[in-house]
Chain A
Amino acid sequence: MHPAISVIFFTVTSGAGFGFIAMIGAGVPLPQGLAAAFFLPLLAGGLAVAGLVSSTFHLGHPERAWRAFSQWRSSWLSREGVMAVLTLCLFGLYTLIWMITGDRLLWLGLIIALGALLTVYTTAMIYAQLKTVPHWHTALTPLCYLGFSLACGHLLATTFGPSGGSGAVGVAVLAILIAWGLKLAWWNRAAATNLAAAGSTPESATGLGSMGKVRLLESPHSGENYLTREMVHVIGRKHAAKLRRIALLLGGALPLVITLAVWIFAMSPGWLIVAFAGLLAGLFVERWLFFAEAEHAVSLYYGGGQK
């Protein structure tokens, strides 16, 4: 699949933003005062909104994006839009109350936390629902998205949390480990999953398998088309192994080392912002691979999957 920068930025950034919103809503310890009540929700909401705005850049008609709120009964993309806006509206209200009264309403916060996690889940389901892309079509996909979202959110919450919260730093280590553990399980499954394993071959695509082995002789047109550019994208698979190591190093090892150092040597939690930057950078690489490595069934009509 074609790895569109706008969609990579969207899934990573809004995942981190909604993860932080979930943490704020769940009532993790954060500094008191008006500045914290303004800037921390601004950062969380800003990340979420930046991601959502970026996602509209890949639309052919962004001015009609409001229509996407209508089909939540059947469409995961629509559900994602509805959940994101609902959660952000409630979060705005929560922030306003926090700024004015200095109180963080736990009951409202918990509703927001649930909404934020559901938003991340619906984002992941946009991909996980697609039977046409066997790599994505698994419950591990939403688990990975949720894992990374929570790891990002928790790391941010710990960065800005009151110093001396060593328990929270320990949980951050655990959250990063769990998130990458899920991703390793996802990669492990992906290695054994391709179109053929899902039962789709050039033979099933053409229905000519009973006659013999099927090979593409001529494409419909001599040039590229929307389908080949969007769904038969193969550039970058060559460097997949290297890119995975880079993702693990930047997004896994680096944040773990920093977080562990902060935990063990009781360093200032401000250092965790470097860990967060590493995690985010690693996730951009991870998300790029999520798209670039995924095979789509339509490739079988364009010479893919031939033995």
Chain B
Amino acid sequence: MTSLPASTDKALGLVIDLDTCVGCHACVVNCKEWNTGGYGAPLGDIDPYGAEPVGAWLNRIHTFEVSPDDAPASIVHFPKSCLHCSDAPCVTVCPTGASYKRSDDGIVLVDESMCIGCGLCAWACPYGAREMDPVENVMKKCTLCVDRIYNDNIPEEDRVPACVRTCPAGARHFGDFSDPQSDVSQLVAERGGFDLMPEMGTAPVNKYLPPRPKTKPDSGAERRIEPEAAKADGFLGWLDQALEKLG
């Protein structure tokens, strides 16, 4: 049913730390790798080794330049995947019931066998979280690795989304936002986590942590290191004096 649940028992999602992300794209690659062999049809590519490869990805990293008025510009790497919105517009527009939000954990999923590939859900999403698979012609999106997080056949430390598991910088965190005591909830409270495009009214579950403020050099108090007039002795001292005498 494409009506949204009034509430969900859990609100599973990600915290993405823009201060820590180094933009290495490891989460992007591991996401593609896992989701090509996991839930649903493989993530398709067209012309993958050719001049103009195109394919479906569930997680992409953009890189932005942020220019403050009074300081040099900063570079912010910006991973983006489905935000598993509480008020997900992609779900309610779906004409077939293929898109749904689970009432137990809040994950937004697509039942690919019911998807007609109309693309309206991708139009309804402000974040670009849904991409049409160019081979299967069904809509693809982040599943929060639903086939990992409840999977008893893999070691416990692997039961987190592939992007979180692989991040070498620890910039991605997975947890339950409905529990104010959870690690992710506390992280968001401590670091001032925010929503993307709150004006769209989507109430995203995923939160982003802002880059920590950069230290600014004190104006006028810069310490200059003057080259000291070094006194050489021995052979070099003799050479120095001899060259001086030459004028």
Whether A61 touches B93, Cβ cut-off 8 Å, given contacts A207-B195, A207-B196, A213-B67, is no
Does any Cβ of B come within 8 Å of A77's Cβ? yes
Q: Residues of A contacting B52 with CB < 8 Å? A: 223-224
Q: Is the CB of B210 within 8 A of A211?
A: yes
Q: Is the CB of A208 within 8 A of B123?
A: no
Q: Residues of B contacting A131 with CB < 8 Å? A: 89, 126, 200-201
Does any Cβ of B come within 8 Å of A214's Cβ? yes
Interface residues on B, range: 35 or more
Whether A71 touches B128, Cβ cut-off 8 Å, given contacts A76-B93, A200-B197, is no
Alpha-carbon distance A68/B115, docked complex (angstroms): 9
The 0/1 profile, CB within 8 Å of A marked 1, for residues 109-146 of chain B is 00000111111101111111001101011100000000
Q: Is the CB of A133 within 8 A of B66?
A: no
Q: Residues of A contacting B62 with CB < 8 Å? A: 216, 218-220, 301-302
Whether A75 touches B2, Cβ cut-off 8 Å, given contacts A67-B95, A206-B78, A210-B210, is yes
Q: Is the CB of A211 within 8 A of B116?
A: no
Alpha-carbon distance A70/B80, docked complex (angstroms): 32
How close is B236's CB to chain A, nearest CB, in angstroms?
49
How close is B103's CB to chain A, nearest CB, in angstroms?
15
Alpha-carbon distance A31/B55, docked complex (angstroms): 56
Which one, B7-15, B69-77, B171-179, B218-226, is touching chain A?
B69-77
Q: Name the residue on B nearest A75 (C-beta).
A: B95
Q: Is the CB of B95 within 8 A of A78?
A: yes
Q: Is the CB of A226 within 8 A of B126?
A: no
Whether A297 touches B126, Cβ cut-off 8 Å, given contacts A204-B198, A207-B194, is yes
Alpha-carbon distance A28/B76, docked complex (angstroms): 64
How close is A36's CB to chain B, nearest CB, in angstroms?
36
Alpha-carbon distance A179/B78, docked complex (angstroms): 45
How close is B4's CB to chain A, nearest CB, in angstroms?
8
Q: Is the CB of A231 within 8 A of B61?
A: no
Q: Name the residue on B nearest A221 (C-beta).
A: B60
The 0/1 profile, CB within 8 Å of B marked 1, for residues 126-166 of chain A is 10011111000000000000000000000000000000000
Q: How many A-B residue pairs have CB under 8 A?
A: 199
Q: Which residues 48-65 of A have a CB within 8 angstroms of B?
A: 58-62, 64-65
Q: Is the CB of B199 within 8 A of A199?
A: yes
Q: Residues of A contacting B36 with CB < 8 Å? A: none
Q: Is the CB of A77 within 8 A of B93?
A: yes
Alpha-carbon distance A67/B200, docked complex (angstroms): 28
Q: Residues of B contacting A64 with CB < 8 Å? A: 96, 114-116
Q: Is the CB of B115 within 8 A of A61?
A: yes
Q: Name the residue on A nearest B208 (C-beta).
A: A207
Q: Which residues 38-68 of B have a CB within 8 angstroms of A?
A: 52-57, 60-68
Q: Is the CB of A207 within 8 A of B210?
A: yes
Q: Is the CB of A206 within 8 A of B97?
A: no
Does any Cβ of A come within 8 Å of B92's Cβ? yes
The 0/1 profile, CB within 8 Å of A marked 1, for residues 166-205 of chain B is 0000000000000000000000000000111111110000
Q: Is the CB of A60 within 8 A of B115?
A: yes
Alpha-carbon distance A58/B26, docked complex (angstroms): 34
Does any Cβ of B come within 8 Å of A198's Cβ? yes
Q: Among B124, B199, B210, which residue has its beta carbon within 8 angstroms of that of A130?
A: B124
Does any Cβ of A come within 8 Å of B107's Cβ? no
Q: Is the CB of B116 within 8 A of A61?
A: yes
How close is B96's CB to chain A, nearest CB, in angstroms?
4
Q: Is the CB of B131 within 8 A of A226?
A: yes
Whether A67 touches B116, Cβ cut-off 8 Å, given contacts A218-B62, A224-B54, is yes
Does any Cβ of A come within 8 Å of B28's Cβ? yes
The 0/1 profile, CB within 8 Å of B marked 1, for residues 3-34 of chain A is 00000000000000000000000000000000
Alpha-carbon distance A73/B2, docked complex (angstroms): 8
Q: Among B54, B94, B127, B136, which residue has its beta carbon within 8 angstroms of that of A71?
A: B94
Does any Cβ of A come within 8 Å of B1's Cβ? yes
Q: Is the CB of A217 within 8 A of B1?
A: no
Q: Is the CB of A206 within 8 A of B196?
A: yes
Q: Name the residue on B nearest A303 (C-beta).
A: B62
Does any Cβ of B come within 8 Å of A230's Cβ? yes
Alpha-carbon distance A68/B93, docked complex (angstroms): 11
Q: Residues of A contacting B241 with CB < 8 Å? A: none
Q: Is the CB of A59 within 8 A of B117?
A: yes
Alpha-carbon distance A277/B194, docked complex (angstroms): 53
Q: Is the CB of A198 within 8 A of B116?
A: no
Q: Is the CB of A217 within 8 A of B75?
A: yes
Q: Residues of B contacting A225 with CB < 8 Å? A: 54-55, 57, 60, 131
Q: Name the residue on A nearest B55 (C-beta).
A: A225
Point out residues on A near B: beta carbons under 8 Å: 1, 58-62, 64-65, 67-71, 73-78, 81, 126, 129-133, 198-200, 202, 204-208, 210-221, 223-227, 230-231, 296-298, 301-302
A71-B94, A78-B95, A298-B128 known, 5 other contacts, Cβ within 8 Å: A74-B4, A205-B126, A211-B210, A223-B52, A227-B131
